[in-house]
Structure 1
Amino acid sequence: MKRDLMTLELDLGDERPAPIPAPVALLIERGALFVVNHSGGKDSQAMYLLLRQHVPADQLAIVHADLGAVEWAGAYEHILATTAGEPIHVCRARRTLLEMIEERGMFPSPQQRQCTSDLKRGPIERTIREITRARKEAGHPAWGLIVNCMGMRAEESANRARLATFKLHAGNSKAGREWYDWLPIHAWSEADVFAAIAAAGQKPHVIYALGMRRFSCVFCIYATDEDLKTAATLATTRPELVNDPGIYRKYAGLERSTGQVMMMPKNGVRRSLEQITGVAA
C-alpha cells in the first residue's frame, strides 16, 4: 500500500509524534537505502526505532564506527540486541584516537574535531561508498540513492540547533550517487528519545542508568564535569564497562606527556582530568 507522502509518524502514545518530511517519504518510495549511523547510544537507538517503523527492512543498513579502546564496552552488542537483523557494517579508522593525540601532541577541541572527522565521519562515508558499489554490482535499481541518517538533536548545543535537518550532500553525490543527509530526530528532546525507547519495550545502554548523559567515547571533550567524574569512577571501579580498563590512566598520561589538557578552560582556569574528577589516575 502506498504511503502518505505528506507525513509519517512514530507513535509514542501520549508523547509528541515525529513527522517524516514529504521529500524523505518520496525517497522511501524510490527505493533509497537509509543508512543508520549507530553509535549504540540513546539517540541512535531512538532514531533507528523511528526509521524501522517507516522504511522497509531491505532499505535499511546500519553503520557503526568502532572507536576501540576509547568507547564504552558493549556498543556493538547493544546495537545487535536492539535492532531487527538489518546488516551492521562496522568500520574503523586507520589510527586510534590515542594514537592521534600522541602524534599531534594535542587533544581534539571544538575547533579541531579530528575525533569526529577522522574516527567517525570519514570511515562511515567510506563504508557507505563501499555499500553503494556492492549494490551497483548486484544490479540494484536504486543502488546510488542514499539517505545518510544521523542522530544529532538541536537541544544538544547551539551548533547542532543550526544544522540543516535534510539536505543534498553535493560532495558525495557523484559517480552515480544521489546522497542526502538527514537528521530524523533533530527536533526531539531527551525525554522524547527515552520515551521512544521505552515505547519499543527496550532500554538504552546501561551507562545511562549509571549516571552518564553521553555515550560513545568514555571521555569526551563535550562532557560535563559531572559526566567526567562519573566516567572516571566507572572506568576505575567497573572495568567490565570499558574496552580498556587503563583508559583513564592513559588519558591522564597523555595530558602529562603532551603538556596539554583534554578539556577547554572553564572561567579561564585550565584543569586536568584529575583536577576535574577528583579521581587519581
Structure 2
Amino acid sequence: MTTPGFQPEIIQLIDAGAIFYASHSGGKDSQAMYALMCQHIPSDQIVVVHASLGEAEWPGVIDHINATISHQLNVVEAGKTFLEMVERRGMWPGAQHRQCTSDLKRGPIEKFIRQDMAKRGGGIAVNCMGLRAAESATRSRRSPFKANRRQTVKKRAVWEWLPVFNLSTAEVFQMIADAGQKPFWAYEQNERLSCVFCIMGSRNDLRHGAEQNPELYRRYVQLERNIGHTMFMKSGQPIWLDEHIGIPVKNIEVAA
C-alpha cells in the first residue's frame, strides 16, 4: 500500500498542537481518511464535522459516520437546502460552477472551524478533506497541503490537507477493512457517494439512487421541468434526468 503523505510539515503541526478537522461526508475516502488520522494524530487534536446535505444525501449517512468514528460528530448545515438553491437560481450547478460544494459544504465547514477556533482562543487549524488525485484530472492537480490564506487571521492559522490524496480506490477500501469496518452500504452498487443525484455522478450511481429513492427522484425530475434547466447534457444538448438514466417517471407536469 502507498504510504500516505505525512510530510514533515504535518508532523510539525501535530507537535504544535494543531486541531485537525476531519471533513467527513460518509463516503469511502472520508472513512479511510479518518482511520488514517486516528493512527497518527492524538485523539484530542481531532474534530469530526459533517456538512449535511439533508434530503439530497443518502439516507443513513449520518448514522454510518457515527458508527465508524470514536469522536463526537459535529453536523453543520447551510441556511438553504440543495433543491431550494437550485429553484432560486433557476439552474443546476455544473462542473465549472459547483455552488453545491461552495455553499452547502465548504462554507458551513469553514464557518464551524472559525467558530470552534474562536472558542479555543485561536491557534492552528488543519481542514482535512478526503480528496484523491485518482478521482479526476482536476483533482490530481491540487496541492495535498497548503495554507488557506483566506481563512487565516492574526490569531488563527488555517491549513488544508488531503491525507489520502495519493491512495488508489483499492487502497482506500483496504484501509477501511483494516480498521475492521465496512463502507456505506450504497457502495455495494455505487462507484461514488455524494448527493443521491450528484451532477458528477455516473449513470450507474444515478440509476441506483432512483431505484432506492423514488420519491426524491420524482422531485428532481419535476424540478427540471419547472425551471426548464437540466442537470446533464448529451452531445452538447440538454437531456432530462429521467431520459439520461432511462427510468421513466409518470405524471410529471411540464411547464407551459
How many matched pairs?
249
- Tell me what 1:219 maps to: 197
Residue 229 of structure 1 is matched in structure 2 by: 207
1:102-141 map, 5 Å:
102-136=87-121
Aligned partner of 2:168 in structure 1 is: 189
* Letter paired with 1:162: R
TM-superposed CA distance for 1:32, in Å, is 0.4
- Give 5+ residue unaligned stretches, structure 2: 250-256
**1:47-58 mapped onto 2 (5 Å cutoff):** 47-58=33-44
The Cα of 1:104 is off from its aligned counterpart by: 0.7
8 Å Cα contact 2:57-2:195 kept in structure 1: yes
d(CA) in 2 for partners of 1:212 and 1:79?
17
Q: For the residues of structure 1 that align with 2:76 and 2:128, how far apart are their CA atoms?
A: 16
Runs of 4+ that moved beyond 3 A: none
- 1:107-160 deviation per Cα after TM superposition (whole angstroms, max 9, x unaligned): 001121110000000000000011101111xxxxxx420111001111111110
> Is 2:230–2:238's contact at 8 Å kept on the other side of the alignment?
yes
Deviations 1:237-262 (A, max 9, x none): xxxxxxxxx21111001110111111
Q: 1:164 aligns with which of 106, 130, 143?
A: 143
Identity rate of aligned residues, in percent? 46
Counterpart CA distance in 1 for 2:134 and 2:49 is: 24
Are the equivalent residues in 2 in contact too, given 1:232–1:277 (CA < 8 A)?
no
Partner of 2:20: 34
Distance 2:107 2:2 in 1: 34
* Residue 145 of structure 1: aligned partner: 124
Q: Is the 8 A contact 1:65 1:124 kept in 2?
A: yes
Secondary structure (helix, strand or coil) at the match of 1:226 reads: helix
Greater shift after overlay, 75-84 or 28-37?
75-84
Say what the alpha-carbon RMSD is for the aligned residues.
Answer: 1.1
**1:280 pairs with 2:255:** no
CA distance in 2: counterparts of 1:151 and 1:248, whole angstroms: 27
| Alpha-carbon distance, 1:48 to partner | 0.3
In 1: Cα distance, 2:16 partner to 2:183 partner: 32
Q: CA deviation at 1:280?
A: 2.1
Cα displacement (A) at 1:270: 2.5
5+ long unaligned stretches in structure 1: 1-14, 137-142, 237-245
- Aligned 8 A contact 2:148 2:159 in 1: yes
**Equivalent-residue separation in structure 2 for 1:124 and 1:16 (angstroms):** 29
1:266 aligns with 2:244: no
**Shift of residue 227 of structure 1?**
1.5
Aligned residue for 2:163, secondary structure, equals coil
